[in-house]
Amino acid sequence: DTEVTQTPKHLVMGMTNKKSLKCEQHMGHRAMYWYKQKAKKPPELMFVYSYEKLSINESVPSRFSPECPNSSLLNLHLHALQPEDSALYLCASSPLDRMDYGYTFGSGTRLTVV
Amino acid sequence: GQQVMQIPQYQHVQEGEDFTTYCNSSTTLSNIQWYKQRPGGHPVFLIQLVKSGEVKKQKRLTFQFGEAKKNSSLHITATQTTDVGTYFCAGPEAAGNKLTFGGGTRVLVKP
C-alpha cells in the first residue's frame, strides 16, 4: 500500500458544528502532517507528528485540534470554524529514516464552512 | 523564517515548446524537493536533489540544484498537455521536520 487515504473527500459544515477529518497510511511512515491549501496557493503547514508525538504546531488556532491515535492514523478535529477556514486540507506522511524520500500526500478533504 | 520563491508564477506554453521554472531560497538548503499538482488534485512528489550542482532527469524533465544549494530549476522539453498543473519546489527548514513550499508555477499548455 503506497497511499495516504483521507476521508471525507468533501465536507460542508456550519460554524457551530464539530467534525473530524481522518487520514490513514500503511507505509510505515513515522512522520505525518496536516497542510491547509487555499485556491491558487501553496500548501501551508499546520501540524507535524513525529513518532505519534506532536512536534510542530504552526500557531494554528485552537479550533483545529490534531490527534494521532497510532502510527497509521491522523485526525483533525474541527470546532467553531470560520468561513475563512474553507480550504483543501491535505494529510501527508514521510519516513523519518530516509533522506531521499519525499512526502506522500492524500487526495485531501475539501472543506466549506457556511 | 525560511522563504522559498518561484518564478514565473504562470507559464503559458505552446505544445511542443520547452520551458524552465526557477526556485530560490533565502537560506542554504540541505535538499530541494519538487512536486506536481494537477488541477483539482493533490501534490505528487517528483524528485529530491541533495548534492550541490546535482542534475537529475526524468524523461522530459530535468532538475538542477545550484552550486550554492540556494536555488533550483525544472526544465521541461517538448511540453505536452499532460504537463498541465502547478509545479512546486519545497525546501526543509534547518530545525524540525518541516517543509516550506514555494509559491508554485502554474503551467498551461496551448495545443
Please, which residues bridge with residue B24 across strands?
B5, B71
Nearest CA of chain B to the CA of A77: how many Å? Answer: 21
Query: Which residue is closest to A94 within chain B, CA to CA?
Result: B97
User: How far apart (Å, rounded) are the C-alpha atoms in residues A76 and A65?
Assistant: 6
List strand residue ranges (DSSP E) for chain B, in order.
4-7, 10-14, 19-25, 32-37, 44-49, 55-58, 61-65, 71-76, 85-92, 99-101, 105-110
Which residues of chain B have a CB within 8 Å of the CB of A90?
42-43
Q: What is the pLDDT of residue B2?
A: 79
Q: Mean of the per-residue pLDDT values for chain A?
A: 95
Q: Which residues contact B60 (CB under 8 A, 6 or more apart)?
A: B76, B77, B78, B79, B80, B83
- What confidence score (pLDDT) does residue B66 get? 97
Q: Do A41 and B103 touch (CB under 8 A)?
A: yes
Tens digit of pLDDT for each residue in B24-80?
999 999 999 999 999 999 999 999 999 999 999 999 999 999 999 999 999 999 999
Is it the case that residue A76 has pLDDT exceeding 70?
A: yes
H helices of chain B, in order, are none
* Per-residue pLDDT, A94: 93
Residue A27 has pLDDT above 70, yes or no: yes
pLDDT of residue B31: 92
**Could you say which residues from 27 to 66 on chain A have a Cβ atom under 8 Å away from some Cβ of chain B?**
31, 40-45, 48, 50, 55-56
What's the pLDDT at A49?
96
CB contact under 8 A, A100 and B50: yes
